């Protein structure tokens, strides 16, 4: 068996320990004589799995009791619609456009109400986070929406925007559980898990109870997108993504064992610094975003020469560094170094980049 260093932006690397455990339990989950994939979502065994997963997530993030945790399907993209459908009571919301995912959420919201662009960094290919200290936010807005870590462009909000008292809704898909978070600063915090938490097919929505409406703001909201239905049923209104939730649960336990989110933050900072420090002194490779807004999770870089970029990606792949090609819309390279990427992977990548630089001067 040989495992590569997988720098994919998502679905992405998972802790080896978790995969091994899942493999061991594949045919017989804890004496049940069946795989979690084969088991009823109403069974005692699964009930324990989803309850433990929720409790471990609550412990890790310090989620206050007045927040509901929902394990749903449809990915982050489905929540682009569910958010306005549930929350747009006054019919208006503000969006900060820091990349493609924020823009998609904004465009989706426009179908259900008035979505206002509060700020954008499109003028410089989303290579920075706009100043969010004094945005044109008005009282008649139901929420302010951000994409906290911009997976494609490699930027992150180091500080949350001043929302002037309006509820904050954040897509944290690509920075989920990468560092401690004060959940109480958000009305809703959500993310698809396939970047930093688990296998594709699960999206976790953490919403303050009083924001979950008795009936959705938008008429004829599909039952499956009605947060109240999902929250009241403890994510078991219909069959949830059982196996995915089980793996997420194992990742939560792994994170606890690793020392929790403070420890992950320290490790992630250390990993990112190895890569950024090299980029900052390299004569061949350059980081593409403003230093102050650099993501700890997604690190885009270029040589400035498309052919050389392609050569690097090909040679890196041959050497066991997978998925370093940048997003198809931006080109260049991107190394996603989520929680489960070992520090050795980042060190080895930098060594490989140094060698490539020496050979291609
Ligand atoms: C990947 C990603 C999405 C889209 O996720 P899906 O689960 O594929 O819908 C949305 N937002 C961010 C920040 C992402 O990284």
Q: What is the pTM of this model?
A: 0.98
The DSSP result for 176-237, as a single string, is: TTSS---GGG-SEEEEETTTTTS-TT-EEEEEEGGGS-SS-SSTT--GGG-HHHHHHTTT-S
pLDDT tens across 13-53, in order? 999 999 999 999 999 999 999 999 999 999 999 999 999 99
Determine the pLDDT at residue 329.
80
For β-strands 114-120 and 92-97, DSSP reports them as: parallel
Q: What's the CA gap between 106 and 97, in Å, rounded? A: 8
Which ligand 1 atom is at minimum distance from the Cα of 147?
Answer: 13
Q: Which of 56, 92, 142, 171 is catalytic?
A: 171
pLDDT tens across 269-323, in order? 999 999 999 999 999 999 999 999 999 999 999 999 999 999 999 999 999 999 9
What do you get for the CA distance between the two ends of the chain, in Å? 35
Q: Give the C-alpha distances (Å, rounded to integers) separating 129 from 98, 289, 331.
A: 6, 9, 20
Domains of the chain, each with CATH number or no CATH: 17-257 (3.40.640.10), 259-359 (3.90.1150.10)
Determine the pLDDT at residue 330.
84
Dig out the tokens for 174 from the structure.
């690509």
107 Cα: distance to centroid of ligand 1 (angstroms): 15
Percent of the chain with pLDDT over 90: 98
pLDDT at 256 over 80: yes
Confirm or reject: Cβ of 10 under 6 Å from ligand 1.
yes
């Amino acid at each position: 068996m040989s495992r590569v260093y997988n720098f994919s932006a998502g679905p992405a690397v998972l802790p080896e320990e978790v995969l091994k455990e899942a493999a061991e339990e594949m045919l017989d989950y804890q004496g049940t004589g069946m795989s979690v994939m084969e088991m009823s979502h109403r069974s005692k065994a699964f009930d324990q799995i989803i309850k433990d997963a929720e409790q471990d997530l609550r412990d890790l993030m310090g989620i206050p009791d007045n927040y509901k945790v929902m394990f749903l399907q449809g990915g982050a993209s489905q929540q682009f619609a569910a958010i306005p459908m549930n929350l747009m009571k006054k019919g208006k919301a503000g969006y900060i456009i820091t990349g493609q995912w924020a823009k998609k959420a904004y465009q989706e919201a426009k179908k259900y109400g008035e979505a206002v662009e509060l700020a954008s960094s499109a003028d410089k290919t989303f290579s920075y986070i706009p100043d969010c200290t004094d945005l044109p936010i008005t009282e008649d807005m139901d929420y302010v929406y951000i994409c906290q870590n911009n997976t494609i462009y490699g930027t992150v909000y180091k500080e949350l925007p001043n929302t002037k008292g309006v509820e904050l809704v954040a897509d944290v898909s690509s920075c989920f559980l990468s560092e401690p978070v004060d959940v109480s600063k958000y009305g809703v915090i959500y993310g698809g898990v396939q970047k930093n938490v688990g296998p594709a097919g699960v999206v976790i929505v953490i919403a303050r109870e009083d924001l979950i409406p008795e009936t959705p703001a938008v008429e004829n909201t599909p039952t499956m997108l009605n947060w109240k239905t999902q929250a009241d049923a403890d994510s078991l209104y219909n069959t949830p993504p059982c196996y995915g939730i089980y793996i997420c649960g194992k990742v939560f336990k792994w994170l606890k064992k690793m020392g929790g989110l403070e420890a992950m933050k320290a490790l992630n900072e250390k990993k990112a610094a190895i890569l950024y420090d090299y980029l900052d002194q390299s004569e061949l490779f350059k980081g593409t975003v403003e230093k102050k807004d650099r993501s700890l999770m997604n690190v885009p870089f270029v040589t400035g020469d498309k052919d050389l970029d392609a050569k690097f990606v090909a040679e890196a792949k041959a050497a066991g560094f997978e998925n370093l090609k940048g997003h198809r819309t931006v080109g260049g390279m991107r190394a996603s170094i989520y929680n489960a990427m070992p520090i050795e992977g980042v060190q080895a990548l930098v060594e490989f980049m140094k060698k490539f630089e020496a050979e291609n001067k």
